């Protein structure tokens, strides 16, 4: 009887440890996924910036109909606003989920456009004057499309991405 109680206590202890490990791993995974989701959806943007971006995005996409996405590569650097910030890379992507097809077009940064209140400017100035919403508006006007989603990478994040992938030896 004593051996049975000892065996039962040992099994109970082992099961308790495994349950605690399982629950702990689940909580840690959920916290990590929440962090990643937050970074992907918000990055370093303030709530006001996110609201302004949401105002110009066309959320007509239900991921079954074709939609447009804007990919931006900005020269913004944290802690150095002396040069302002412009987009060096402006790529419009048409995503067609039904045909499993992506079509990409790059808008050259020196493309001449008219920015309200600033006159004729280069396309990359839309970011300097209006941030992401300014670029999306300029894209919609220039190409006659409605951008539904966007992604942005700046110098600091690009360096982090390169380092995460193993870096580049120079």
Least trusted range by pLDDT, from 69-83, 106-120, 152-166: 69-83
pTM beyond cutoff 0.75: no
Chain centroid, CA 72 distance in Å: 10
Decide if pLDDT at 35 tops 80.
no
Provide the 3-class DSSP secondary structure of residue 89: strand
Would you place residue 25 in the very low, low, confident or very high pLDDT band (cuts 50, 70, 90)? very high
- Return mean pLDDT, the chain: 84
* Spatial contact of 86 and 124, defined as CB atoms under 8 Å apart: yes
Helix or strand holding residue 130 (H, E): helix 125-143
């Amino acid at each position: 009887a004593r051996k049975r109680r000892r065996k039962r206590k040992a099994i109970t202890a082992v099961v308790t440890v495994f349950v605690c490990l399982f629950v702990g791993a689940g909580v840690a995974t959920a916290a990590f996924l929440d962090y990643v989701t937050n970074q992907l959806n918000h990055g370093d943007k303030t709530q006001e910036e996110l609201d302004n971006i949401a105002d110009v995005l066309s959320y007509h996409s239900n991921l079954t109909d074709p939609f447009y996405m804007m990919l931006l590569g900005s020269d913004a650097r944290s802690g150095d606003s002396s040069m302002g910030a412009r987009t060096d890379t402006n790529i419009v992507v048409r995503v067609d989920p039904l045909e499993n097809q992506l079509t990409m077009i790059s808008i050259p940064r020196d493309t001449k456009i008219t920015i309200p209140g600033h006159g004729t400017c280069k396309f990359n100035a839309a970011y300097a004057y209006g941030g992401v919403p300014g670029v999306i508006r300029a894209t919609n006007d220039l190409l006659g499309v409605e951008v539904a989603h966007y992604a942005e990478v700046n110098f600091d994040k690009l360096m982090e991405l390169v380092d995460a992938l193993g870096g580049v030896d120079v």
